[in-house]
Amino acid sequence: MKNKRLATLIGLIGFLLVSGPVLAHHGRSNYDVTSTATVKGVVTEFDWVNPHALIHFDVTDDNGKVEKWIAETNSPNTLSRQGWSKNTVKVGDQITLVGHRVKGGANYFNFSKITFADGRELNPAIQN
């Protein structure tokens, strides 16, 4: 069942779609970087915290069951330089995230791209 739900929620897009610098300030060994996934949900909280800003969001599967997810991305200092602020992601936003799921299968994600319902896309990657 769980696998079926995951198949619904997560589409494998392929290798190397996620740019390297996303997690560059520490290792990516906690994530399954061999596959890139997409997750859709509704934001319940945006936590502007070090060392990674965290988006808490709800994912609803085909059967209407809601699961809590967390997606982490770059640090506030890096995001600030990319034009983000603590108000960039708002409660209630419908978001689509592309990135890697944590190893072991928990509902935890690291994303390299976020797309909002209005089509706006943001990339949080470090750009030195």
Partner 1 sequence: MRISSLKPVVVILIALALSPAILAQTAGHSGIKKTASVTHTPDLNGVWANITEMAPSFNPKEDPSFQSWAEVKWKANKNDDPGQPIITNGRVDLDPTVASCFPTGMPRLMTEVFPFEIVQLRDRVLILFEKDYAVSHIWTDGRKLPEDPDLSYMGQSVGKWDGDTLVVDTIGLKDITWLDRSGHPHSDALHVTWRVRRVNHDRLQIDWAFDDPKAFTKPWTGRSIYRYHPDWTLEEFISCEDRLSHVGESLEQKAVKGQNP
Measured CA to CA in angstroms, residue 122 lies from 14, 52, 73, 112 at distances of 20, 16, 11, 9
Of the pair 34, 63, the CB lying nearest partner 1 is at 34
Binding residue for partner 1, selected from 7, 12, 66, 106, defined by CB under 8 A? 106
Paired tokens of 8: 């619904």
Of the pair 104, 119, the CB lying nearest partner 1 is at 104
- The owner of tokens 């982490």 is 72
Of the pair 33, 122, the CB lying nearest partner 1 is at 33
Rounded Cα distance, 47 and 108, in Å: 14
Stretch that binds partner 1, among 2-10, 12-20, 82-90, 115-123 (CB under 8 A): 12-20
Q: Show the binding pattern over residues 45-74: x = contacts partner 1 (CB under 8 A), - = does not.
A: ----xxxx-x-x----------xxxx-x--
Angle at 40 between CA 35 and CA 44, to 5 degrees: 125
- In angstroms, what is the minimal distance from the CB of 23 to partner 1? 8
Binding residue for partner 1, selected from 26, 85, 91, 120, defined by CB under 8 A? 26
* Extended beta strands in 7-125, E state: 37-47, 54-60, 66-72, 94-101, 108-116, 121-122
